[in-house]
């Protein structure tokens, strides 16, 4: 397939992968994605990730297999420490959810809640309450989840005054919390292999390039799903801090979550990956790669003791669990990477200083080339509206940009890029407009987007890892010349 005819790998692939994993809730999640982009709140994607990580963790924490594996806990066990960890996680979720609702909307929702509680007429009170429970917006849905969690936090405070908390009480608390979470339209916790466009991504330049180079779309999608799951676990483990930062009780919930999701990843690597990549020739090569990636995770889950056999006060064992889980996940990613490209090594794939520098440098170069392409196209269309070669070269480069550079952008920065990239994708096919009008509009859009790229370049250039690495003019010019080639 010619380059000009091939749609973007990222556009057709990562977005479809996210959408497929979200299944019937895709409409609500698309609306939520637009909402999170509109928030003028610093670090909103990271806040949302931590919130949903803890919501997933609360759900998995009450599955005893996530805590003990196949070992049954003793019947007379006191579960107060686990309830304390749950209360800690619930408290943190309430705090994070407050950050995601702007003050004006927060005040309006609080006033509605106050009025509902003050009304004497049960019919009016029921009507007002039902409007909120409809969850017409992400803010209403988040406020509803938060209100429920606040109530559960108060219940937990009182339960923890008991002398003993039996297993039946612990499980009942879990059922009540799970019901609270799973009735949420916009914030129902995602499953182990269900992804969110706001924060799930493969941020390694080399892995993105390796995925992009694969011709088999089914195989590419299957391997990318495994990578997204592994990178999500790595990100979750960052919330189990290393010394000297103290641990909170909720690290037990995070570790239980990661163990649960790693078990799901093992099943995917050993069973689903070979099935999804099956060809008439068989699946032996992919099956071998899946087993190689799953083995280090399986080994560490077998070696590391169950989460609740470790006291929260035993800092050394908790840190050892985190380090072992991180190492196993990186080994798994390295095995997947070698299956994609045998030349890839484990060390350059992760967010250490070298990998971050590589990602930032690649993004800076792609933004620089994109800006120069926009300027070149605007100048060329000024001279001759009939010469569309430059516009076609820009469209091809935009397709390439989606596949790597775009994936390195923060989610909140993508909206302006989405608009321009979509415009380039379909500008030549607009009906009801003359060629001259379409060309003039494209020329104006290129000039405006070049200014946006200028600002984006300035922001990327301020990153610490680029401060001592000035732009390589020769290499950037070579990349621009390559992008400008007509074929």
Domain borders along the chain are 39-182, 205-340, 355-484
- Between 356 and 261, name the one with better pLDDT: 261
**65 C-beta neighbours (distance < 10 Å), count:** 14
* pLDDT higher than threshold 50 for residue 396: yes
pLDDT tens track for 172-230: 999 999 999 998 989 988 888 888 888 888 878 888 888 888 888 888 889 999 999 99
The C-alpha atoms of residue 306 and residue 321 are separated, in whole angstroms, by 10
pLDDT tens track for 263-301: 999 999 999 998 888 777 767 788 899 999 999 999 998
The C-alpha atoms of residue 138 and residue 123 are separated, in whole angstroms, by 26
Q: Which positions ≥6 away from 146 have C-beta within 8 Å?
A: 93, 94, 97, 98
Q: Minimal CA–CA distance to 377: which of 434, 437, 322, 424?
A: 424
Element (H, E) at 30: helix 26-38
The C-alpha atoms of residue 375 and residue 386 are separated, in whole angstroms, by 17
pLDDT band of residue 20 (cuts 50, 70, 90) is: low
Q: CA 268 → CA 203, 216, 218, 272, distances in Å?
A: 21, 19, 15, 5
What per-residue confidence (pLDDT) applies to 108? 77
The C-alpha atoms of residue 205 and residue 356 are separated, in whole angstroms, by 10
Residue 78's region, left for phi above 0, alpha for psi from -120 to 50, else beta, is: beta
Of 279-288, 313-322, 394-403, 407-416, highest mean pLDDT: 394-403
Three-state DSSP at 282 gives: strand
Residue 52's region, left for phi above 0, alpha for psi from -120 to 50, else beta, is: alpha
Q: What is the mean pLDDT of the chain?
A: 83
Of 66-70, 334-338, 433-437, highest mean pLDDT: 334-338
pLDDT band of residue 487 (cuts 50, 70, 90) is: very low
The token pair that represents 183 in the structure block: 């009735």
The predicted model gives 362-377 an average pLDDT of 91
Tell me, rounded to whole angstroms, the distance of Cα 375 from its chain centroid: 33
The token pair that represents 463 in the structure block: 């990153």
pLDDT band of residue 395 (cuts 50, 70, 90) is: confident
What per-residue confidence (pLDDT) applies to 278? 79
Three-state DSSP at 256 gives: helix
**402 C-beta neighbours (distance < 10 Å), count:** 24
Residue 28's region, left for phi above 0, alpha for psi from -120 to 50, else beta, is: alpha
Three-state DSSP at 404 gives: coil
What per-residue confidence (pLDDT) applies to 142? 93
**256 C-beta neighbours (distance < 10 Å), count:** 25
The token pair that represents 436 in the structure block: 């001259």
Tell me, rounded to whole angstroms, the distance of Cα 122 from its chain centroid: 43
Q: Which positions ≥6 away from 35 have C-beta within 8 Å?
A: 137, 138, 139
The predicted model gives 462-479 an average pLDDT of 87
The C-alpha atoms of residue 424 and residue 421 are separated, in whole angstroms, by 5
Single pTM value for the model: 0.77
């Amino acid at each position: 397939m010619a380059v000009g005819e091939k749609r973007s790998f990222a556009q057709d692939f990562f977005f479809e992968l996210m959408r497929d994993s979200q299944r019937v809730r895709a409409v609500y999640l698309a609306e939520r994605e637009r909402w999170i982009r509109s928030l003028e709140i610093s670090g909103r994607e990271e806040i949302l990730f931590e919130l949903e990580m803890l919501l997933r963790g609360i759900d998995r924490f009450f599955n005893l297999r996530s805590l003990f594996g196949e070992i049954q806990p003793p019947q007379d066990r006191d579960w107060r420490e686990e309830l304390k960890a749950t209360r800690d996680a619930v408290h943190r979720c309430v705090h994070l959810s407050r950050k995601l609702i702007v003050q004006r909307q927060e005040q309006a929702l609080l006033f509605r809640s106050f009025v509902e509680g003050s009304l004497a007429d049960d019919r009016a009170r029921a009507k007002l309450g039902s409007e909120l429970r409809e969850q017409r917006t992400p803010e209403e849905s988040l406020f509803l989840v938060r209100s429920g969690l606040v109530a559960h936090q108060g219940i937990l405070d009182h339960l923890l005054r008991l002398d003993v908390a039996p297993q039946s009480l612990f499980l009942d608390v879990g059922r009540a919390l799970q019901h609270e979470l799973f009735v949420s339209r916009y914030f129902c916790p995602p499953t182990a292999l269900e992804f969110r466009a706001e924060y799930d991504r493969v941020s390694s330049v080399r892995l993105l390039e390796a995925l992009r180079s694969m011709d088999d779309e089914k195989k590419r999608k299957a391997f990318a799903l495994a990578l997204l799951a592994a990178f999500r676990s790595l990100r979750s483990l960052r919330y189990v801090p290393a010394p000297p930062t103290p641990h909170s009780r909720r690290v037990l919930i995070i570790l239980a979550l990661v163990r649960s999701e790693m078990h799901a990843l093992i099943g995917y690597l050993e069973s689903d990956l070979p099935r999804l990549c099956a060809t008439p020739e068989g699946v032996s090569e992919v099956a071998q790669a899946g087993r190689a990636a799953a083995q280090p995770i399986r080994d560490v889950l077998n070696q590391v003791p169950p989460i609740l056999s470790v006291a929260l006060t035993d800092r050394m064992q908790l840190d050892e669990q985190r380090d072992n889980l991180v190492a196993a996940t990186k080994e798994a990613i390295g095995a997947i990477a070698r299956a994609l490209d045998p030349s890839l090594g484990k060390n350059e794939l992760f967010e250490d200083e070298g990998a971050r520098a590589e990602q930032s440098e690649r993004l800076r170069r792609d933004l620089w080339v994109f800006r120069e392409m926009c300027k070149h196209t605007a100048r060329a269309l000024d001279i001759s509206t009939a010469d569309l070669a430059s516009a076609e070269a820009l469209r091809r480069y935009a397709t390439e940009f989606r596949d790597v550079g775009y994936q390195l952008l923060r989610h909140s920065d993508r909206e302006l890029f989405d608009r321009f990239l979509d415009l380039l994708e379909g500008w030549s096919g607009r009906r009801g407009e003359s060629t001259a009008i379409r060309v003039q509009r494209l020329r104006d859009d290129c000039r405006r987007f070049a200014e946006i790229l200028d600002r984006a370049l300035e922001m990327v250039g301020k990153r610490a890892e680029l401060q001592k690495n000035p732009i390589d003019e020769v290499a950037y010019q070579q990349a621009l010349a390559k992008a400008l080639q007509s074929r």
